[in-house]
């Protein structure tokens, strides 16, 4: 099929060109005067479906008018059957005759349309010519006809509706009557235009070229005059002037427009009117005429970026237009030939008459104040969003494919009652107090105070009879005690509000939602959609509607809004939320501050910050009024009691440390007392200079009996301040009553009262800025703790300066006091002293060797550490004495010091300490060496060490362990041996050696010779055959031997030889005997060898 189309498309196109060239002369006749006044052209439609252009040519002699429609259909609409409906006002026009070139046309009297007899499969061009009798304006409605396969019904797809006016040839005239003005302001504009020729609204605006698509030409038959001058383009006034009932509808101005937005971009046919702050109109818009039930179409555009010349729908006798542009838009009301025409930013508007166009005179006086309206809409959205779901409304979403919201059984509310209190001139009065009573029992139901609008509002009252009784009149007015009675009835069905709550997630499901139980002509169903703060809401649910009369509704163009009862209120939105419509949607969308992006058909108003139209939309105005409630008006008589008035004013002074503690409020309330009762109040705030001033004006001076009123003032208490009134001046004083406390502990540093020096009590003095303000006697508690505390001390002085608190302590004998913050440390130190003294005695035979020094050094030790020393010499009498005075007896913990002395070494003396006395004795030295006689330790018998005992006067005095040095020498030395005893007798020093096994010791003076003797020789056994195991040798009795040795040592034996002891042999003798035996044996062996 595609190949076939491709094969025939080009030949058909060439054939069409050939036909055009053949028809060119005929077309040139029809269009020859297209650019002249005699033969103007009107664009019937120019969009994606094609282009249609209309020409009117009257015959002044016969009164007949020849109408020519030149059509070029695009490829995508070529297969659709084109039809035209002709009318003048509400009367159908029958053409006198029909001629067509290209596709044949015929007139269908049943449908009362000029219709294509056949359709083509590709783009087509055609010319349709017909005649009518004399007309002022012919309304031509163009449509494509489509026959539905299911039922064979013909469905109309309206393309556009255009008014084509008659233009007389030059120098010809005919009777003309003025057309009705579109709106009240239009009439004034038309009358003004009669007085001067049309001009351009901007000198700098370039003239439209002749090829620009033209709009309907308004002849004198339409307006009786040329277009007005640009400088006199009338103001549009205000929307409220045109539609005074706007205050009674739920959504205000927005409820009268298909798109109400700050910004709108139209990319697809938009069937409805606009009120937008900024327009990017890439396609046409306007509410198409269907049944003529929409009497007025208003459009308001503050700023135009782009606009299609086919925008708007031409007005008719049954449809009046009003279009208002903002002051930044360039609007011209004449073409280059000074003929009436509407140009917007240089773009000619095909469907606007000059009498239908208006313009804001300044940005400060807009036709609609978008900022104010959107602010009101935001409040309305929030108010509606707070409504709970109406009892009786059901939602059945158990089957995702058949989700249903049913409002049929929604319960009804009762009336809202508003009482309005006014004065004689009708001005509302606030602060009137009313008690709502049950009319029968007179029991109080509620108490309310009239608001700034003088209203008391009661809602949700049960049905019944009630009365309002005024209990307190506003200041300056008399109470009207007459009860005002009313009955609270159930609200009429058309005034009910049915509320449904819905989550955005339900709208984001790709299955339909059917709303049932709807009634045409009643109050709306409000659906509050909680968007849950989401940045995007992607609506995929198709919305279907079912009404109680059994009808359903699908998307279509209409002028009948009686069934528009759905309001979608999107709440809990974040900033810049995007709502995307991706499934057919029905109902008004209230999304203040959001962007609404339309990708599927929408029937209803779209109210948002930004609207993007990318799919066809249809106007369907919400029918919703604010609930009408009975307003009970109460007239209160305003009796001025005196013509003489007075003024009372005063100042406020703050005594609060210059608000140092940030306690001063931002405002105060001053009450004016009249005869002791509150008459008026004022909220007082500081001026720019920080001064606080109030004033009561126009105060009556006397009452109705002539008695002078007594006025006084008082102030509503200010927290933490005291108020003093001086005449009419106020002084507020703040005193910082913050308190402080001072507390501490007493610590005793007195050896735990070892010396019983601690007193029973002490006195602690509290100093405030160095001045004593209190004192406390402090004693130890049951646990032995010493504490004190001063409470509730003022923290600041009268000037707000912080006090400085310190403490002092009364003198405690024997103690020193130290203060650490608020803590006390008392220290007691025992200052008793002692003396260390002694004498020096010399034990040196009166210095017979003349070695006594001239002085000695005595060192004083305190607990083992040297703390002092003294050089001591003999005095004149030869006595050696020393003395250390004023020595502390105790340490910091009360422990007694231990004092000792020692003496620095004195050469040739040893020092002995007796208490604190010193005895120095002359010394001597005993030293010697050890010699070994053991064949150089042949048998390895020599010990590692020996013990040398020093004997003094025959008694052991000292000992030394002696070892060989590195050179193998064995030496010993006893130094600093006292030479004399206490009586001066010389000591006798000798030495002894500890027993060395297998050796004998010989002492020569202080030298020692040790000779190796070897072990004992064993006895010969008695039975040589059976040698006996030798018994262990008996240990010799060494004690007696030692005695003998000691005696020998003590007597210093004078000979070195001694007799051997039993069993002892001299090693020397054994050596001689061995040598003899060896020589004898050698001689015997020699003789035997030589014999």
Question: What are the φ and ψ backbone dihedral angles of 8, each rounded to 5 degrees?
Answer: -95, -15
Asked if the structure places residue 1074 within a domain, the reply is no
Chain segment 896-908, per-residue pLDDT in tens:
999 999 999 998 8
With a cut of 80, say whether residue 978 has pLDDT above it: yes
pLDDT at 174: 37
What is the average pLDDT value for the chain, to the nearest integer? 81
With a cut of 50, say whether residue 1063 has pLDDT above it: no
3-state SS, residue 1084: helix
- Rounded mean pLDDT of 178-199? 37
- Rounded mean pLDDT of 670-687? 93
**696 shares its domain with 840:** no
**654 shares its domain with 602:** no
Q: For residue 41, what pLDDT band results from cuts at 50, 70 and 90? A: confident
Dist CA 794 CA 792 (whole Å): 6
Q: Which of 642, 707, 712, 653 is nearest to 680 (CA)?
A: 712
Dist CA 732 CA 34 (whole Å): 89
Choosing from 957, 977, 1012, the residue where a domain stops is 1012
Dist CA 354 CA 362 (whole Å): 20
Mark residue 572 as left, alpha or beta (left: phi above 0; alpha: psi -120 to 50; beta: remaining). Answer: left
Question: Where is 899: in which H helix or E strand?
Answer: strand 899-903
**676 shares its domain with 614:** no
Give the tokens for residue 677: 């009762």
Q: What is the largest CA-CA distance in the chain?
A: 206
With a cut of 50, say whether residue 632 has pLDDT above it: no
Please classify residue 988 by burial: count the beta carbons closer than 10 Å to its beta carbon, then call 0-12 exposed, 13-18 middle and 19+ buried.
exposed
Asked if the structure places residue 758 within a domain, the reply is yes
With a cut of 60, say whether residue 510 has pLDDT above it: yes
Contacts 24+ apart (CB under 8 A), 775-779: 778/746
Check which CATH number belongs to the domain holding 114 and give it. Answer: 2.60.40
With a cut of 80, say whether residue 193 has pLDDT above it: no
Choosing from 792, 813, 828, the residue where a domain stops is 828
pLDDT at 706: 64
Lowest model confidence (mean pLDDT) among 572-576, 644-648, 710-714, 937-941: 644-648
Report the number of distinct structural domains present in the chain: 6
Chain segment 796-812, per-residue pLDDT in tens:
998 889 999 999 999 99
Please indicate, yes or no, whether the overall pTM of this predicted structure exceeds 0.85.
Answer: no
With a cut of 70, say whether residue 198 has pLDDT above it: no
**Bigger pLDDT: 25 or 1005?**
1005
Asked if the structure places residue 770 within a domain, the reply is yes
pLDDT at 481: 66
Residue 606 in contact with residue 617, Cβ under 8 Å? yes
- Rounded mean pLDDT of 408-426? 76
**716 shares its domain with 619:** no
**715 shares its domain with 746:** no
Asked if the structure places residue 1026 within a domain, the reply is no
Question: To the nearest whole percent, how much of the chain has pLDDT over 90?
Answer: 53
Residue 236 in contact with residue 367, Cβ under 8 Å? yes
**502 shares its domain with 556:** yes
pLDDT at 186: 39
Q: For residue 1028, what pLDDT band results from cuts at 50, 70 and 90? A: low
Dist CA 161 CA 288 (whole Å): 7
**263 shares its domain with 365:** yes
Dist CA 742 CA 761 (whole Å): 19
Chain segment 754-803, per-residue pLDDT in tens:
889 999 999 999 999 999 999 999 999 999 999 999 999 999 998 889 99
With a cut of 50, say whether residue 466 has pLDDT above it: yes
Pairing of strands 970-978, 917-933: antiparallel
3-state SS, residue 659: helix
Look-up: residue for tokens 């007389």? 168
List the 585-586 sheet strands across, edge first: 270-271, 617-618, 602-603, 585-586
With a cut of 70, say whether residue 358 has pLDDT above it: yes
pLDDT at 528: 97
**811 shares its domain with 670:** no
**Bigger pLDDT: 966 or 423?**
966
pLDDT at 229: 40
Asked if the structure places residue 975 within a domain, the reply is yes
Residue 440 in contact with residue 487, Cβ under 8 Å? no
pLDDT at 557: 94
- Rounded mean pLDDT of 1051-1058? 40
Asked if the structure places residue 1023 within a domain, the reply is no
Provide the Cα torsion 108, 113, 114, 120; round to 10°.
Answer: -90
Lowest model confidence (mean pLDDT) among 598-607, 642-651, 842-851, 905-914: 642-651
pLDDT at 420: 85
Q: For residue 470, what pLDDT band results from cuts at 50, 70 and 90? A: confident
Look-up: residue for tokens 């002078």? 708
Choosing from 709, 734, 759, the residue where a domain stops is 734
pLDDT at 378: 96
List the 417-422 sheet strands across, edge first: 455-458, 417-422, 631-635
**Bigger pLDDT: 175 or 682?**
682
Q: For residue 335, what pLDDT band results from cuts at 50, 70 and 90? A: confident
With a cut of 60, say whether residue 219 has pLDDT above it: no
The domain of 70 spans: 40-167
Q: Name every residue whose Cβ is closer than 8 Å to that of residue 328 and which is 6 or more positions away in sequence.
A: 302, 303, 363
**860 shares its domain with 953:** no
**604 shares its domain with 676:** no
With a cut of 90, say whether residue 561 has pLDDT above it: yes
Asked if the structure places residue 12 within a domain, the reply is no
Dist CA 294 CA 991 (whole Å): 153
Dist CA 476 CA 700 (whole Å): 9
**725 shares its domain with 746:** no
**616 shares its domain with 726:** no
Check which CATH number belongs to the domain holding 790 and give it. Answer: 2.60.40.1140
Dist CA 920 CA 906 (whole Å): 8
Asked if the structure places residue 962 within a domain, the reply is yes
Question: What are the φ and ψ backbone dihedral angles of 313, each rounded to 5 degrees?
Answer: -120, 130
């Amino acid at each position: 099929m595609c190949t076939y189309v491709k094969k025939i498309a080009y030949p058909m196109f060439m054939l069409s060109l050939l036909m055009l060239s053949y028809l060119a002369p005929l077309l040139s006749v029809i269009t020859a005067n297209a650019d002249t006044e005699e033969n103007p052209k009107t664009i019937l439609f120019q969009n994606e479906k094609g282009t249609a252009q209309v020409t009117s040519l009257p015959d002044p002699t016969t009164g007949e008018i020849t109408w020519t429609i030149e059509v070029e259909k695009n490829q995508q609409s070529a297969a659709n059957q084109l039809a035209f409906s002709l009318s003048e006002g509400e009367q159908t026009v029958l053409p006198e005759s029909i001629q067509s070139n290209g596709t044949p046309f015929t007139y269908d009297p049943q449908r009362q349309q000029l219709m294509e007899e056949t359709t083509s499969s590709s783009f087509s061009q055609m010319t349709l010519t017909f005649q009518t009798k004399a007309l002022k304006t012919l309304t031509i409605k163009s449509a494509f006809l489509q026959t539905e396969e299911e039922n064979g019904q013909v469905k109309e797809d309206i393309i556009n509706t255009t008014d084509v006016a008659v233009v007389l040839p030059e120098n010809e005239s005919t009777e003309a009557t003025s057309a009705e003005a579109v709106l009240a302001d239009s009439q004034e504009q038309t009358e003004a235009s009669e007085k001067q020729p049309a001009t351009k609204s901007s000198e700098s605006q370039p003239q439209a070229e002749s090829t620009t698509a033209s709009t309907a030409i308004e002849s004198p038959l339409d307006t009786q005059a040329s277009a007005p001058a640009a400088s006199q383009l009338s103001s549009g006034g205000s929307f409220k002037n045109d539609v005074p009932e706007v205050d009674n509808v739920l959504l205000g101005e927005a409820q009268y427009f298909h798109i109400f937005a700050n910004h709108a971009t139209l990319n697809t046919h938009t069937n409805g009117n606009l009120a937008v702050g900024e327009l990017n109109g890439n396609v046409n818009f306007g509410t198409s005429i269907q049944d003529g039930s929409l009497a007025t179409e208003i459009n308001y555009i503050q700023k135009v970026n782009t606009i299609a010349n086919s925008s708007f729908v031409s007005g008719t006798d049954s449809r009046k237009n009003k279009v208002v542009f903002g002051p930044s838009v360039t609007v011209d009301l004449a073409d280059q030939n000074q003929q009436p025409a509407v140009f917007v930013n240089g773009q000619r508007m095909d469907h606007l008459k000059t009498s239908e166009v208006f313009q804001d005179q300044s940005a400060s006086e807009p036709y609609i104040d978008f900022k104010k309206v959107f602010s009101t809409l935001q409040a309305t959205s929030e108010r509606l969003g707070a409504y709970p779901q109406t009892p009786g409304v059901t939602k059945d979403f158990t089957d995702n494919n058949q989700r249903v919201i049913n409002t049929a059984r929604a319960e009804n509310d009762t009336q809202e009652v508003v009482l309005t209190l006014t004065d004689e001139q009708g001005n509302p009065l606030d602060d009137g107090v009313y008690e709502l009573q049950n009319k029968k029992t007179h029991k109080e139901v509620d108490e309310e105070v009239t608001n700034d609008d003088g209203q008391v509002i009661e809602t949700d009252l049960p049905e019944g009879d009630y009365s309002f009784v005024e209990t307190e009149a506003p200041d300056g007015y008399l109470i009207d005690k007459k009860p005002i009675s009313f009955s609270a009835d159930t609200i009429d069905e058309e005034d009910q509000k049915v509320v449904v709550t819905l989550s955005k997630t339900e709208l984001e499901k790709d299955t339909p939602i059917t709303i049932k139980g709807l009634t045409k002509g009643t109050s709306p169903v409000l659906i509050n959609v909680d968007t849950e703060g989401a940045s995007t809401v992607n609506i995929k649910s198709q919305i279907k509607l079912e009404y109680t009369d059994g009808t359903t509704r699908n998307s279509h163009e209409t002028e009948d809004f009686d069934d528009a009862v759905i309001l979608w209120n999107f709440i809990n939105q974040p900033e810049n939320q995007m709502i995307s419509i991706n499934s057919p949607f029905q109902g008004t969308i209230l999304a203040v501050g959001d962007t609404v992006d339309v990708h599927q058909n929408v029937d209803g108003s779209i109210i948002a910050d930004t609207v993007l139209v990318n799919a066809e939309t249809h106007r369907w105005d919400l029918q919703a009024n604010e609930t009408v409630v009975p307003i009970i008006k109460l007239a209160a008589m305003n009796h001025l009691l005196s013509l003489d008035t007075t003024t009372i004013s005063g100042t406020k002074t703050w005594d609060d440390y210059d608000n140092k503690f940030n306690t001063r409020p931002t405002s105060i309330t001053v009450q004016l007392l009249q005869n002791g009762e509150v008459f008026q109040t004022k909220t007082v705030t500081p001026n720019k200079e920080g001064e606080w001033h109030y004033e009561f004006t126009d105060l009556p001076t006397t009452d109705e009996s002539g008695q002078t009123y007594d006025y006084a003032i008082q102030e509503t208490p200010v927290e933490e301040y005291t108020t003093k009134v001086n005449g009419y001046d106020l002084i507020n004083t703040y005193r910082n009553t913050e308190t402080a406390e001072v507390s501490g502990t007493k610590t005793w540093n007195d050896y735990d009262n070892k010396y019983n020096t601690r007193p029973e009590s002490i006195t602690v003095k509290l100093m405030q800025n160095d001045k004593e303000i209190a004192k406390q006697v402090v004693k130890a508690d049951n646990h032995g703790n010493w504490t004190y505390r001063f409470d509730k001390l003022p923290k600041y002085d009268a000037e707000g300066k912080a006090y400085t608190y310190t403490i002092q302590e009364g003198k405690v004998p024997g103690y020193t006091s130290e203060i650490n913050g608020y803590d006390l440390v008392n220290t007691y130190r025992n200052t008793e002293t002692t003396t260390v003294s002694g004498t020096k005695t010399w034990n040196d035979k009166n210095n017979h060797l003349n070695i006594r020094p001239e002085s000695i050094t005595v060192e004083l030790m305190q607990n083992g550490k040297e703390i002092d020393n003294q050089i001591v010499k003999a005095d004149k009498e030869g006595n050696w004495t020393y003395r250390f005075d004023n020595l502390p007896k105790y340490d910091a913990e009360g422990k007694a010091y231990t004092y000792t002395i020692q003496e620095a070494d004195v050469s040739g003396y040893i020092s002995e300490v007796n208490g604190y006395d010193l005895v120095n004795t002359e010394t001597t030295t005993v030293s010697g060496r050890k010699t070994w006689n053991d064949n150089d330790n042949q048998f390895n018998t020599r010990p590692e060490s020996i013990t040398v005992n020093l004997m003094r006067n025959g008694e052991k005095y000292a000992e030394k362990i002696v070892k060989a040095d590195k050179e193998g020498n064995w030496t010993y030395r006893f130094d600093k041996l006292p030479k004399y005893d206490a009586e001066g007798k010389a000591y006798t020093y000798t030495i002894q050696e500890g027993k060395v096994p297998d050796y004998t010791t010989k002492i020569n003076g202080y030298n020692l010779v040790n000779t190796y003797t070897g072990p004992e020789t064993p006895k010969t056994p008695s039975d040589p055959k059976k040698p006996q195991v030798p018994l262990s040798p008996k240990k010799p009795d060494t004690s007696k031997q030692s005695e003998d040795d000691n005696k020998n040592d003590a007597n210093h034996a004078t000979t070195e030889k001694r007799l051997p002891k039993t069993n002892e042999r001299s090693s020397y003798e054994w050596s001689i005997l061995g040598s003899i035996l060896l020589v004898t044996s050698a001689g015997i062996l020699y003789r035997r060898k030589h014999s």
